[in-house]
Amino acid sequence: MARKRRSGSVAKGLNPVKAQVRSATSAVSLDAANAAPRASRSWWRTGAVQFAAPAALAFLASLNSLWNGWVADDFTQIVTSVPLRKLSNIPLSFVTSVWSYATADSVVTVDSYYRPLFMTLFTMNYAIAGLAPWAWHLINVLIHTAVTLLVFVTIRELTSRPAIAALTAALFAVHPVHAESVAWVSGITDPLMSLFLLPAFLFYLRFHKTRRRVFFGLTILFYLVALFAKETALALPLLIAYCEIFYFSETSLRERFKRALLLPSLLVPPTIFYIFIRYIALNGILFGTGPHYPFSYALMTIPLATLKYLKLMSLAWGQSYQHYTEFVTSMATREFLLPLVGVCLVIAALVYARSRMMWFGAVWFILVLSPALLAMRQFDREYLIQDRYLYIPSIGFCLAAALMIDKLNDRWGLKLSATVAIVLIIVFGAANVRQNRMWKDGETIFANCVDTDPGSAEAHLSLGRIYFDSGRVRDGEEHVQKALELAPENPSPYLLLSFFAHQRGKLDQSIEYIERGIASVPQTPVTKFKLATLHLNLALLYGQTRNLEVEEHQLLKSIEIWPRATGWFHAGQFYLEQARYQEARAMFEKARSNVPEKFSQIHLKLGQTYDRLGQTDDARAEYQRFLELAPDAPESAAVKARLARM
């Protein structure tokens, strides 16, 4: 039976049979389940088309990414990474961070970027395709296509409305905000996680419908695998709790609360197992250099970030690798109050809509996005907001958009709603194809960042660095000088200008730029981390001039501003070279307690320090640990020779 519409009620005195026929012919719904008598007359309502069309859209809208090359992190994580060239190294990806797996650089090896399934995929990709970029991009496109199919199946299971599911999946398939996740090889983390999180949620829905425990067992299994792809999967227990209390209302409130506690609790064991393995890999749950900014700043920035994410979802332009965002540092500012009002208006609109499915879309969006929102205090301001973080949250937005188009159908008819849907898919699809081209190489990425936000100093800095590295020195320096004009209190332009001068062999000028930066940039909770980096780089530059007194002072100043592993590591190296072995040992031991156990260089340095101090047993243990972790390292032959003499 067709649903009653406000404009389709039976007028007084009208023949009820005629009114019923008129309603059946005019109130055509997008939902095939509610329009069964007319389903055979609409090609869109056929199951095969509903299933295949979104997948075809996903594949076609992403296909031009196959002509892209390696960009950004691809070079370190793929092109120069030695471990991923052997399938036998796959277990190593589960006990190291991504950067520890890819490089021995002490600066990045201490990160909390734990993605074992991501590195497993890359290792398998290399075994299949070597270093042919097009093949890696094709794998990304196929994963995105598979996720689109899962979106359709999951929303169909949730809503029992195949046409709504098909429209949701079609919008998801072509949305330009997904270009970063699909057209960039290293951006595949979120699609990979979605490949397992969506089945986990789908099997939960099947469990709710059938009460067959095997389905919830599959939920637990896929949830665990999704966690090893990305920690964002931690949102699943909250989604299940929400569904039990608010989305499914067939039982009493007391019973719903009981199930909302019981079912998520069954996901606690796999969560604990994941955290345990993560702890082993990172030497801590949230290992790394620690949060860069106050937690209160991150909380006050959430309304602004939420509105920026909604804007990215609503428009077919504005997507970029960088969305420079200043932290909100006070609630008594327009940067906090206006976004808060905007968020309240969105909530009011949801209340007015009184749609259970619309609320689900909103809750899905914010819960799956919440890990990225809460982690903002760890991000640099140019990467505070990222397109790729919207990959799986966008399902909720696309569902809400599909429901609004369905409302158009109820009120104005099929022709208008179908036209809106088709136009939206075409516009988003064209924007997606365009955005894919932005990931062709580093220059196009950061040129797009500048075009999208010409007032962003960080965008000009990034493009300047790309130009300099490609030999366009004058263009590079122009963009960095522009960044300095835009943000004279930002430490980054001084650091990059110093790097440029050093690359050209102008050591004195390199030092001068950093000293200008230290003098110009006030120390605040936002700037202190990059100030500490300035002091560390100044120390290394003075080390090249053999001004040891200033080098030591700058090293200690850097550590004072920001106590961290890379600072202790460099200070330990300084003391080791100056034969101040007790001080070297203290610094290296601090560093060791704050880096992953599998960071081989710290064991080498400790071995050398203990050796000089005459602590033979400790030195031998550290040398042997170094050889276990890095048997092919350049220093391995010398270490083996030293062990033979001990």
Q: Could you tell me how many residues make up the chain?
A: 646
Per the domain annotation, does 248 fall within a domain?
yes
Contact 620, 640 (CB under 8 A): no
Per the domain annotation, does 34 fall within a domain?
yes
Contact 566, 106 (CB under 8 A): yes
Half-sphere exposure (Cβ direction) of 89: Cα atoms closer than 13 Å = 21
Mean pLDDT, residues 375-392 taken together: 90
| Domain co-membership, 142 together with 273 | yes
Contact 145, 169 (CB under 8 A): no
| Domain co-membership, 282 together with 302 | yes
Contact 193, 150 (CB under 8 A): no
Per the domain annotation, does 124 fall within a domain?
no
Per the domain annotation, does 306 fall within a domain?
yes
Mean pLDDT, residues 74-78 taken together: 89
Is the pLDDT at 215 greater than 70, yes or no?
A: yes
Chain segment 602-630, per-residue pLDDT in tens: 999 999 999 999 999 999 999 999 898 88
Per the domain annotation, does 447 fall within a domain?
yes
Contact 230, 115 (CB under 8 A): yes
| Domain co-membership, 573 together with 553 | no
Using CA atoms, how far apart are residues 137 and 124, in angstroms rounded to an integer? 14
| Domain co-membership, 377 together with 428 | yes
Q: Is 13 left (phi over 0), alpha (psi -120 to 50) or beta?
A: left
Contact 305, 296 (CB under 8 A): no
Flag the least confident range among 22-26, 111-115, 303-307, 393-397.
22-26
Instruction: Write the CATH number for 643.
Output: 1.25.40.10
CA-to-CA separations, 484 to 95, 325, 536, in angstroms, rounded: 41, 17, 21
| Domain co-membership, 9 together with 29 | yes
Using CA atoms, how far apart are residues 513 and 38, in angstroms rounded to an integer? 73
Mean pLDDT, residues 351-364 taken together: 94
| Domain co-membership, 598 together with 528 | no
| Domain co-membership, 252 together with 170 | yes
- 639 is written with which tokens? 């270490």
Compute the CA torsion angle 210, 214, 219, 225 (nearest 10 deg): -160
- 27 is written with which tokens? 């109130």
Higher pLDDT residue, 411 or 67? 67
Using CA atoms, how far apart are residues 512 and 347, in angstroms rounded to an integer? 52
The 3-class secondary structure across 85-101, one letter per residue, is HCHHHHHHHHCCCHHHH
Contact 137, 131 (CB under 8 A): no
3-state helix, strand, coil in the chain (%, to 5): 75, 0, 25
Is the pLDDT at 9 greater than 70, yes or no?
A: no
State the pLDDT at residue 16.
38
Chain segment 447-475, per-residue pLDDT in tens: 999 999 999 999 999 999 999 888 888 89
Domain end, chosen from 562, 578, 608, is at 562
Domain end, chosen from 538, 562, 586, is at 562
Per the domain annotation, does 393 fall within a domain?
yes
Chain segment 264-297, per-residue pLDDT in tens: 999 999 999 999 998 888 776 654 445 678 889 9
Buried b (16+ CB within 10 A) or exposed e, 601-617: bbbbbbbbbbbeeebee
Chain segment 559-602, per-residue pLDDT in tens: 999 998 889 999 999 999 999 999 999 999 999 888 777 788 89
Is the pLDDT at 28 greater than 60, yes or no?
A: no
Q: CB-based contacts of 467: which residues, under 8 Å, 6+ apart?
A: 443, 473, 475, 476, 479
State the pLDDT at residue 48.
74
| Nearest by Cα to 272 from 312, 237, 317, 309 | 237
Is the pLDDT at 170 greater than 90, yes or no?
A: yes
Higher pLDDT residue, 634 or 177? 177
| Domain co-membership, 228 together with 149 | yes
Chain segment 495-552, per-residue pLDDT in tens: 999 999 998 899 999 999 999 999 998 888 888 888 999 999 999 999 999 899 999 9
DSSP per-residue codes, 512-535:
HHHHHHHHHSPP-TTTHHHHHHHH
Chain segment 291-306, per-residue pLDDT in tens: 678 889 999 999 999 9
Contact 237, 264 (CB under 8 A): yes
Per the domain annotation, does 580 fall within a domain?
yes
Per the domain annotation, does 67 fall within a domain?
no
| Nearest by Cα to 188 from 117, 289, 273, 133 | 117
Which residue has tokens 């709504």?
A: 164
Using CA atoms, how far apart are residues 611 and 313, in angstroms rounded to an integer? 58
Using CA atoms, how far apart are residues 549 and 554, in angstroms rounded to an integer? 9
- 19 is written with which tokens? 């009114």
Q: CB-based contacts of 200: which residues, under 8 Å, 6+ apart?
A: 218, 219, 220, 221, 222, 223, 226, 233, 236
Half-sphere exposure (Cβ direction) of 25: Cα atoms closer than 13 Å = 6
Mean pLDDT, residues 373-390 taken together: 89
Contact 121, 192 (CB under 8 A): yes
Q: Residue 79 gets which letter from DSSP?
A: I
Using CA atoms, how far apart are residues 326 and 385, in angstroms rounded to an integer? 11
Chain segment 231-264, per-residue pLDDT in tens: 999 999 999 999 999 999 888 889 999 999 999 9
Q: Note the Cα 618 to chain centre separation in Å.
A: 41
Indicate the pLDDT class of residue 225, thresholds 50, 70 and 90.
very high
State the pLDDT at residue 111.
59
pLDDT over 70 percentage in the chain:
89
Q: What's the number of domains the chain is made of?
A: 5
| Domain co-membership, 317 together with 228 | yes
| Domain co-membership, 173 together with 29 | no
State the pLDDT at residue 630.
81
Residue 565, classed as helix, strand or coil, is helix
Contact 621, 603 (CB under 8 A): no
| Domain co-membership, 256 together with 370 | yes
Buried b (16+ CB within 10 A) or exposed e, 541-566: bbbeeeeeeebbebbebbbebbebbb
Domain end, chosen from 501, 532, 562, is at 562
Is the pLDDT at 1 greater than 90, yes or no?
A: no
Helices assigned H by DSSP within 453-564: 457-469, 473-486, 491-503, 507-520, 528-544, 548-561
Using CA atoms, how far apart are residues 123 and 60, in angstroms rounded to an integer? 26
State the pLDDT at residue 38.
41
State the pLDDT at residue 17.
34
| Domain co-membership, 167 together with 249 | yes
Please report the sign of the dihedral spanned by the C-alpha atoms of residue 290, residue 294, residue 298, residue 301: negative
CA-to-CA separations, 180 to 231, 429, 432, 437, in angstroms, rounded: 19, 14, 10, 11
Using CA atoms, how far apart are residues 307 and 317, in angstroms rounded to an integer? 15
Give the mean pLDDT of the chain: 87
Write out the residue range of the structural domain in which residue 37 sits.
Answer: 1-43
